[in-house]
């Protein structure tokens, strides 16, 4: 069944086209969100879909090759008509979709959930949706997660609207300053994202209220600082490299996600867009920075990649971290080791002291492991009492990996007090080595380390193999 055309379609299409987003390249920030949807909801397909006059076009897609479909068969064309999410548990049983060629043919949609993406004026220009080839229901928590992520996409749309406004402001900046400085200041101050004029040396020339709210500084306090002073040290080099390219005319503008350090010392994640203003003689006058607070989105991403009990990376994060670590090993031509750790006798502790005590033990062990590995290494809680450690940049051979494993075993073996009892625990450790350029698959590394761990456990526990 074809979705009806809303009465405000002309205005909706004007809002969509005003974003200048159709048929544009993929954007990492949106691709991360569709990957999150696919992982968190365990669906093969996740999309950011935009509904144009005769088609739906996918700004971001996970698990689907097609870039667009006709609007008349689009599930999302129905979803944008609703004020609440559209959830179709079984499309084959739904009279609106049972004959749809996307149901009867590839990609064989059976389940669909879509949340409208809206502009600042409330027009639904598309959806964030999850698709599966099997019927299913969403829990309340899963639907809330989809809503939260769709809200982040809507904020990205609002950011694009503000960026379009800022671009218009840049193109007309000289005329606006000459014709109506008061009108410019009003637009500058009322913008919902942070806007700043920054001197070539990094000093803040002018900042709006939204930016001061993000950073926790007053305009007067910022004028005594540079952007370098409040940029997180780990992000400063990347920012300066892009700024140098902008000054040297190698790029016209740049966008990055970075952290500022607020006045209260807390880091805050932002999406930064920077362009430059030149004089009539072609000399650099200042930079125009558009700054959006994305801390909430980053926290959602963090939550999806971290174990709730211990705060360590989880299995979902491991799937992303391990291939990247292997790629770094290939580039640096340095060995990498993957260590599989399994606590000995954990079930007995649970049975004797209860699950709360078991959770306390896991938290204590996690903290000890965290303090025993380098910042360049990665520590993951795989499941239950199983942990993974990825050691990067180690010397050739197995000696360094074995020594690190013994250090971790010693940390785990320190007494732990639980319910006034002193608990002694141990672990069995197996590890595998990755040789740069070998092409060994992540699953193969995991299986090899797992096999050695079981050999260690069957050989008496509390030991490392090979």
Domain end position, chosen among 159, 192, 215: 159
Whether residue 92 is found in the same domain as residue 206: no
Give residue 351's pLDDT.
Answer: 84
Can you tell me the mean pLDDT for 124-146?
94
**Confidence label for 430 from pLDDT (cuts 50, 70 and 90):** very high
Give residue 172's pLDDT.
Answer: 55
Residues 43, 44, 50, 53: what is their CA dihedral angle, to the nearest 10 degrees?
A: -120
Percent of the chain residues past pLDDT 90, beyond the cut: 70
Give residue 177's pLDDT.
Answer: 47
Assess whether pLDDT exceeds 90 at residue 397. no
Whether residue 98 is found in the same domain as residue 201: no
Question: Helix or strand or coil: residue 377?
Answer: coil
Whether residue 190 is found in the same domain as residue 276: yes
Domain end position, chosen among 260, 275, 297: 297
Can you tell me the mean pLDDT for 391-420?
90
Whether residue 283 is found in the same domain as residue 141: no
Whether residue 290 is found in the same domain as residue 357: no
Distance between CA atoms of residues 324 and 282, nearest Å: 42
**Confidence label for 190 from pLDDT (cuts 50, 70 and 90):** low
Q: Is 167 domain-assigned?
A: no
Distance between CA atoms of residues 132 and 333, nearest Å: 41
Q: Is 445 domain-assigned?
A: yes
Domain end position, chosen among 297, 326, 342: 297
Distance between CA atoms of residues 64 and 40, nearest Å: 17
Q: Is 1 domain-assigned?
A: no
- Which of the pair, 77 or 193, is modelled with greater confidence? 77
CATH number of the domain residue 239 falls in: 3.30.450.20
Whether residue 371 is found in the same domain as residue 439: yes
CATH number of the domain residue 394 falls in: 3.30.70.270
Q: Is 224 domain-assigned?
A: yes
Whether residue 328 is found in the same domain as residue 419: yes
Assess whether pLDDT exceeds 50 at residue 180. no
**Structural domain that includes position 407:** 306-465
Distance between CA atoms of residues 262 and 194, nearest Å: 14
Whether residue 384 is found in the same domain as residue 419: yes
At 16-30, the pLDDT tens digits run 998 889 999 988 889
Q: Is 40 domain-assigned?
A: yes
Give residue 156's pLDDT.
Answer: 87
Whether residue 265 is found in the same domain as residue 118: no
What's the mean per-residue pLDDT of the chain?
90
At 166-177, the pLDDT tens digits run 666 666 555 544
Assess whether pLDDT exceeds 50 at residue 419. yes
Percent of the chain residues past pLDDT 70, beyond the cut: 94
Q: Collect all residues with Cβ–Cβ distance below 8 Å to 285 and sequence separation of at least 6.
A: 276, 277, 278, 279
Give the chain's end-to-end CA distance (angstroms, integer): 62
Q: Is 264 domain-assigned?
A: yes
At 35-76, the pLDDT tens digits run 999 999 999 999 999 999 999 999 999 999 999 999 999 999
Whether residue 264 is found in the same domain as residue 211: yes
Distance between CA atoms of residues 143 and 155, nearest Å: 18
- In the block, tokens 């965290």 appear at 370
Give residue 245's pLDDT.
Answer: 94
Give residue 173's pLDDT.
Answer: 54
Q: Which helix (H) or strand (E) holds 367?
A: helix 355-372
Whether residue 442 is found in the same domain as residue 398: yes
Domain count, the chain: 3
Question: Helix or strand or coil: residue 3?
Answer: coil
Question: Helix or strand or coil: residue 450?
Answer: helix
Can you tell me the mean pLDDT for 72-89?
95
Q: Which helix (H) or strand (E) holds 179?
A: helix 173-179
Whether residue 288 is found in the same domain as residue 311: no
């Amino acid at each position: 069944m074809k979705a009806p055309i809303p009465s405000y379609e002309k205005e909706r299409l004007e809002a969509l086209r005003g974003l200048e987003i159709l048929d544009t390249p993929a954007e990492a920030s949106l691709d991360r969100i569709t990957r999150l949807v696919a992982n968190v909801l365990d669906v093969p397909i996740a999309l950011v879909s935009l509904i144009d006059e005769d088609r739906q076009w996918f700004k971001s897609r996970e698990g689907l090759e097609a870039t667009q479909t006709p609007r008349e068969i689009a599930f999302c064309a129905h979803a944008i008509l609703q004020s609440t999410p559209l959830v179709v548990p079984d499309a084959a049983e739904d009279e609106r979709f049972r004959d749809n060629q996307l149901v009867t043919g590839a990609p064989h949609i059976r389940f669909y959930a879509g949340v409208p993406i809206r502009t600042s004026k409330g027009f639904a220009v598309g959806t964030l949706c999850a698709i599966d080839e099997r019927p299913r229901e969403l829990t309340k928590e899963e639907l809330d997660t989809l809503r939260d992520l769709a809200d982040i996409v809507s904020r990205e749309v609002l950011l694009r609207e503000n960026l379009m406004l800022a671009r218009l402001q840049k193109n007309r900046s000289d005329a606006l300053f000459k014709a109506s400085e008061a009108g410019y200041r009003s637009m500058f101050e009322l913008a919902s994202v942070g806007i700043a004029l920054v001197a070539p040396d990094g000093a803040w020339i002018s900042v709006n209220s939204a930016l001061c709210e993000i950073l926790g500084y007053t305009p007067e306090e910022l004028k005594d600082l540079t952007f370098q002073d409040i940029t997180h040290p780990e992000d400063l080099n990347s920012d300066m490299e892009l700024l140098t390219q902008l000054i040297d005319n190698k790029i016209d503008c740049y966008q990055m996600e970075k952290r500022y350090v607020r006045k209260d010392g807390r880091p805050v994640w932002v999406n930064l867009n920077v362009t430059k203003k030149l004089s009539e003689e072609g000399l650099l006058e200042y930079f125009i920075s558009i700054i959006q607070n994305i801390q909430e989105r980053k926290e959602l991403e963090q939550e999806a990649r971290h174990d709730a009990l211990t705060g360590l990376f989880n299995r979902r994060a491991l799937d992303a971290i391990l291939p990247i670590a292997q790629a770094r090993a290939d580039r640096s031509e340095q060995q990498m080791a993957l260590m599989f750790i399994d606590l000995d006798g954990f079930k007995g502790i649970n049975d004797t002291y209860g699950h709360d005590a078991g959770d306390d033990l896991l938290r204590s062990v996690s903290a000890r492991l965290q303090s025993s590995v380098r910042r360049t290494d990665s520590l993951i809680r795989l499941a239950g009492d199983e942990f993974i450690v990825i050691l990067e940049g180690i010397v050739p051979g197995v000696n360094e990996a074995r020594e690190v494993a013994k250090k971790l075993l010693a940390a785990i073996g320190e007494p732990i007090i639980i319910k006034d009892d002193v608990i002694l625990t141990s672990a069995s450790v197996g590890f595998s080595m990755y040789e740069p350029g070998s092409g060994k698959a992540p699953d193969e590394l995991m299986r090899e380390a797992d096999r050695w761990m079981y050999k260690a456990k069957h050989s008496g526990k509390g030991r490392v193999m090979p």
